[in-house]
Chain A
């Protein structure tokens, strides 16, 4: 599972200045390390991530 995650994350991590790596890290820290509840965390993170992706595409 970790190996698959690393392979999936590789292309995202290559784009160092894009918001995606930061969103990925924020999700990992919030859910995996801080153990925040999934529903509340996703209700905050998912729209923020989409908004950041939208802004990144249009710049």
Chain B
């Protein structure tokens, strides 16, 4: 197995990424996009956006997008390797960090770490949304659907799955 083997490349990228995904898998979308589309050329803009959409509507955690990327790159083996690489290191790290974390419940430094990481994770999520919107909103109708979806999600309590369904129907009848 060479260092250029897709499975090794997948494992090394996602294992490193998992340790820096502050805010969850969605916060790591910009880096996944950079690796999969810009650096390795595994996917096109459109394919990446499609995988993100599938990951969102699929029941289960958002980290499913890594499974889908792995599958696109190297089939079933790629899906398994990418998922383990993305979930494994962070699970181990979480196990050890939570044991220490509770001991410093009242420490000012713990409060500072939490307060310091929240804006970083929100900034990362914003970057993810920006990159996906840029890749997807190639027409006025698509941009309009994004704006309407944001408005509905922000101002109402309607289940986002209904919005997905309406957008899917719009796409199916050829409006996008």
Interface residues of A (CB under 8 A from B): 1-9, 12, 19-21, 23-28, 31-33, 35, 37-39, 42, 45-46, 49-54, 56-58
B residues contacting A by CB (< 8 A) are 16-17, 20, 22, 26, 28, 30-31, 34, 38, 56, 108-109, 111-113, 115-120, 122-133, 146, 149-154
Q: Is the CB of B130 within 8 A of A20?
A: no
Q: Please determine whether A38 and B122 come into contact, CB atoms closer than 8 angstroms.
A: no
| Interface of B, helix, strand, loop or mixed by DSSP | helix
Chain B residue contacts of A58, Cβ below 8 A: 108
What total count of A-B pairs have CB within 8 Å?
A: 128
Q: In the complex, which residues of chain A have a beta carbon less than 8 angstroms from the beta carbon of B123?
A: 23-28, 31-32
Known interface pairs A1-B129, A52-B116, A54-B108; 18 further A-B residue pairs with C-beta atoms within 8 A, sorted by A's residue number = A2-B153, A3-B149, A3-B154, A12-B118, A20-B115, A27-B120, A28-B123, A28-B124, A28-B126, A32-B130, A32-B131, A38-B17, A38-B31, A46-B120, A51-B112, A57-B108, A57-B115, A58-B108
Measured CB to CB, the closest approach of chain B to A6, in angstroms, equals 6
